[in-house]
């Protein structure tokens, strides 16, 4: 089989890109385990997003047991700021998931939640921004976003 140098360069570039993505996820997981050692983080749940729109990939992971689900966010900025938030499972409160298992997924920010919820302070619609959701059971999902007023992770829910 004849392989051109251009094809070799494309293959090499894709391999390097895949390696850097895996390295940044692995680094993020190490940072998260160091910051929150009491949780068992599911490496298969890893999402790469740019929640704070700084052009650097941020990583989200999930940890869960029978009573709670915890999301861990490692920002790609210098210093790798780590944010962790835990939600009970099966509790009747508004900040609880209905049932296990919990799941996280990517969510594009090209929407306006004000029709459903009213104004959300710090929420900024974006055609290119990516955030994430947390779901569990038949309840409404948690929509996470980067709050531009508080410069911190935030969420809303119906």
| Structural domains in the chain (count) | 1
Rounded to an integer, what distance in angstroms lies between the CA atom of residue 125 and that of residue 39? 32
Place of tokens 């499972």: 89
In angstroms and rounded to an integer, the radius of gyration of the C-alpha atoms of the chain is: 18
* Structure tokens that stand for 77 in this block: 């900025």
Highest-pLDDT range among 10-19, 32-41, 50-59: 32-41
Whole-number Cα distances in Å, 25 to 31, 58, 64, 72, 110 = 10, 9, 19, 12, 25
Tokens read off for 79: 């210093």
Q: What would the mean pLDDT of 11-38 be, rounded to a whole number?
A: 68
The three-class DSSP label of residue 41 is: coil
Quote the tokens at residue 67: 């009573």
Whether pTM exceeds 0.85: no
pLDDT tens string 110-148? 999 998 899 999 999 998 889 999 999 888 999 999 999
* Distance (Å) of CA 154 to CA 10, 12, 37, 64, 124: 39, 39, 23, 20, 12
The whole domain housing 87 covers 5-156
Element (H, E) at 89: none
């Amino acid at each position: 089989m004849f392989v051109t140098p251009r094809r070799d360069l494309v293959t090499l570039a894709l391999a390097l890109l895949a390696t850097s993505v895996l390295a940044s996820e692995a680094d993020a997981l190490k940072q998260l385990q160091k910051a929150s050692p009491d949780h068992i983080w599911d490496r298969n749940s890893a999402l790469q997003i740019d929640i704070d729109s700084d052009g650097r990939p941020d990583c989200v992971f999930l940890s869960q047991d029978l009573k709670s689900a915890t999301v861990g966010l490692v920002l790609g900025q210098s210093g790798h700021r780590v944010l962790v938030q835990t939600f009970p499972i099966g509790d009747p409160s508004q900040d609880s998931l209905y049932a296990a298992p919990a799941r996280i997924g990517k969510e594009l920010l090209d929407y306006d939640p004000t029709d459903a919820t009213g104004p959300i302070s710090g929420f900024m619609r974006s055609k290119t921004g990516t955030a994430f959701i947390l779901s569990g059971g038949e309840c409404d999902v948690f929509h996470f976003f980067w709050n531009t007023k508080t410069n911190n992770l935030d969420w809303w829910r119906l």
